[in-house]
């Protein structure tokens, strides 16, 4: 039987690369891979891949199951990340869209995508090796065991690189985003594995942008604004939806309904104009994605970490309203450009 898959150890956000001298035993820094968190259990016969949310991922990545079965040298339980690289103008970068497409109910489509856009696995912790449970060991020991176990295993199984130098971690934070990664993780070297505990630190890019409010969805409770949809203008003056702002308090959700009422678009009968939203593969099947459309006149400043194509990669955070800004001035030009980088160079 494969090793029982625990809840993964988590990380808390910090604003900057921490000083290792302030953590007993020091810190190890590594790139923050932007993919599906995956705990891989291999007993010498069967493979199981568990996700951060305890959902099985095994059926969605048959090419990795085959690779683990063929390449792993002994039974083990590995913590890591599943990512999909994509060739872009001669470089490889992580492709979130291709990764999310793998979560599909049809086995035939999963098999097709496994061949067309094969995934790879980046290991960054070892929880068990053979019959030895390593979770009570320090990360320094677990890392040494991981390198010993997987150091010579070929693609598509990799071991993430690490450094104990915060200056190198700062450099990674600046450079690796160009390959589709989303920050740096710092791990206390002396700590044991702590399932479901935020004992690691994650450092991500924090940026702001002025965006236009273009609509809202009602909260799942049926009352108030659940999420505010926002957009940016391109060079041709076309307004594109780029993401959503959420995490309002209950009181604020209700206030926003009244505040946004003057901006609601209405048809000839006086009814609010609505639009169907795009559902994520991870959304509940019965979730209502209908939005109320707003005239694009109100500007707000938001915090974001990175772009994925033309959209914000994650839900953005509200900073403040910007009544001094004209909506048409909210363009992509204000966003920070990122220098291209190659995933293969991150793996070296």
Instruction: Report, as residue numbers or ranges, the catalytic residues.
Output: 32
Contact yes or no for 50/39 (Cβ under 8 A): yes
Pair of tokens at residue 20: 């290792």
Q: Which residues are within 8 A (CB) of 61 and not within 5 positions of it... i.e. 6 or more apart?
A: 49, 82, 102, 114, 119
| Whole-number Cα distances in Å, 232 to 212, 301, 327 | 6, 12, 9
Residues 144, 121: Cα–Cα separation, whole Å: 18
Backbone angles phi, psi at 303, to 5 degrees: -100, 135
Contact yes or no for 129/146 (Cβ under 8 A): no
User: b/e map of 79-97 (b: 16 or more CB within 10 Å)?
Assistant: bbbbbbbbeeeebbbbbbe
Residues 76, 208: Cα–Cα separation, whole Å: 43
Contact yes or no for 170/17 (Cβ under 8 A): yes
């Amino acid at each position: 039987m494969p090793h029982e898959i625990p809840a993964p150890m988590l990380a808390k956000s910090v604003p900057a690369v921490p000083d290792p001298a302030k953590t007993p035993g020091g810190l190890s820094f590594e790139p923050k891979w932007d993919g599906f968190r995956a705990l891989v259990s291999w007993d010498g016969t069967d493979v199981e891949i568990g996700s951060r949310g305890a959902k099985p991922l095994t059926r969605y990545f048959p090419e990795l199951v085959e690779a683990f079965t063929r390449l792993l040298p002994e039974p083990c339980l590995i913590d890591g990340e599943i990512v999909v690289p994509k060739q872009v103008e001669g470089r490889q970068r992580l492709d979130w869209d291709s990764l999310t497409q793998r979560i599909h109910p049809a086995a035939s489509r999963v098999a097709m995508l496994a061949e067309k856009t094969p995934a790879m696995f980046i290991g960054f912790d070892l929880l068990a090796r053979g019959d030895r449970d390593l979770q009570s060991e320090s990360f320094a020991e677990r890392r040494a065991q991981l390198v010993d176990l997987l150091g010579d295993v070929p693609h598509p199984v990799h071991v993430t690189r690490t450094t104990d130098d915060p200056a190198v971690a700062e450099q990674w934070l600046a450079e690796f985003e160009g390959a589709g990664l989303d920050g740096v993780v710092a791990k206390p070297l002396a700590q044991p594995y702590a399932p479901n505990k935020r004992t690691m630190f994650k450092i991500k890019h924090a940026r702001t942008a002025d965006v236009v409010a273009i609509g809202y969805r009602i909260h799942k409770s049926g009352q108030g604004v659940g999420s505010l949809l926002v957009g940016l203008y391109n060079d041709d003056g076309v307004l594109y939806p780029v993401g959503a702002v959420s995490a309002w308090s209950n009181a604020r959700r209700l206030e926003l309904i009244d505040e946004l009422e003057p901006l609601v678009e209405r048809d000839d009968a006086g009814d609010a104009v609505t639009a169907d939203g795009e559902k994520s593969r991870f959304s509940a099947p019965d979730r209502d994605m209908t939005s109320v459309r707003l005239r694009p006149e109100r500007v707000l400043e938001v915090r974001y970490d990175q772009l994925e194509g033309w959209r914000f990669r994650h839900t953005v955070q509200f900073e403040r309203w910007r009544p001094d800004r004209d909506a048409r001035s909210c363009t992509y030009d204000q966003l920070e450009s990122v220098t291209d980088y190659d995933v293969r160079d991150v793996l070296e």
